[in-house]
Every structure is written in C-alpha cells, then in structure tokens.
Amino acid sequence: MKNIITTYPNKELFEKTRDIPKEDIRSETFSQIGSAMLEILRKKKGVGLSANQVGLPLNMCVIEVNVNDPKILLNPRVIKQSDKTEKSMEGCLSLPGTSCTVNRHSNVTVEYETVTGETETIEAEGLLSKCLQHEIDHLNGIMMVNRLNAYHKEKTLKNYFNFKKAMNGSKR
C-alpha cells in the first residue's frame, strides 16, 4: 500500500476494485490495511478513503465522519437508496484543491463485511450517506467529476490542475 494518495488522472481510479473473498476476510491483513488507511485519512483530514486511492485494487474503504466512530468496510454495497436526491458539496483526496456539487441520494442503506467477517448494515443520511456513496463510487471506478455535466467537469478539473501547478511551483 502506498502512503500517498493516488491522484487524478491515474487509471487505477477508473478501474472497478475486486471483491474480497469471504473466506479471506478474517485474516489480520484487512484489519491492518484498514488501520493504515485510517491513519492516512486522518493525516489528510478527510472523511473517507477507498483502497484504490492508496494503490490497492480491493473493494474496501474507510470512513470516519464522526471522530470516535471509524468504520472499515469490506465489499460495501448500496442495497437501498431514497428516490429523493440532494446536492452535495464534495471534495476528494484524489482531486486536492477543488470541490464540486454532486447530486446524491438523500438516504442510503449499505451492507458490508467487517474485518471479523460479520455482515453489517448502515442506514445513513446526511454527510455519512454522501460519504458512503462517494467511496462506493470510487470502488466502482467512478470519480465525483464523472457525475458532473461537461461544463462543471471541465471547470472542476481546471481548478484541480491550477492547484496542482501552484503546488508544484511552491516546492521549488
């Protein structure tokens, strides 16, 4: 696993991750990967991070919307979503320095496996709902800019590349 975040336009971000076989889940490996991902997430001051953002093609993400309630989700999948949608201002660790407005379902129900192999369900609304949808999109090879119309995608990417250029200039 890389200690740095994979950024746009790396092709790994646009590839669907592979499910983790149920019989492999209970190994100490996924608990360790999850803990390392949470550490990276906290350093970057994010609320969600998918495995493909750190170079692992695994269907796995971590979410920490509430400081004392970190979640490590293996094979997360949306099993129910509200018809109602709402606009969500989002940022992305793979697109630093920019944000955009994405249309998301107001509520989702997500089923996933824990690092101990238990199947659990989260019924989410608000920021947790948006974060789950954002990370599951990542795991399916979809970035937030893929949810925008051409004009807004171009504008968001222009902001990102300007930020990246400014950051590279400040490192000299």
- Residue 161 in any domain: the answer is no
- Residue 95 in any domain: the answer is no
Per-residue pLDDT of 39-98, as tens digits, reads 999 999 999 999 999 999 999 999 999 988 999 999 999 999 999 999 999 999 999 999
Verify whether residue 39 is a known catalytic residue.
no
Look at residue 37 and tell me whether its pLDDT is greater than 60. Answer: yes
Catalytic residue among 64, 90, 113, 135: 135
- Residue 56 in any domain: the answer is yes
d(CA 18, CA 32): 18
Q: Show the tokens assigned to 21.
A: 């076989």
- Residue 160 in any domain: the answer is no
- Residue 20 in any domain: the answer is yes
d(CA 3, CA 24): 23
**pLDDT band (50, 70, 90) for residue 2:** confident
- Residue 125 in any domain: the answer is yes
Kindly state the average pLDDT of the residues 109-133.
97
Total domains present in the chain = 1
CATH number, domain containing residue 21: 3.90.45.10
| Domain that includes residue 114, residue range | 11-85+104-147
Residues 154-170 as b/e (b if ≥16 CB within 10 A, e otherwise) read eebbeebeeebeeeeee
Q: What is the pTM of this model?
A: 0.94
- Residue 91 in any domain: the answer is no
80 SS3 class: strand
- Residue 4 in any domain: the answer is no
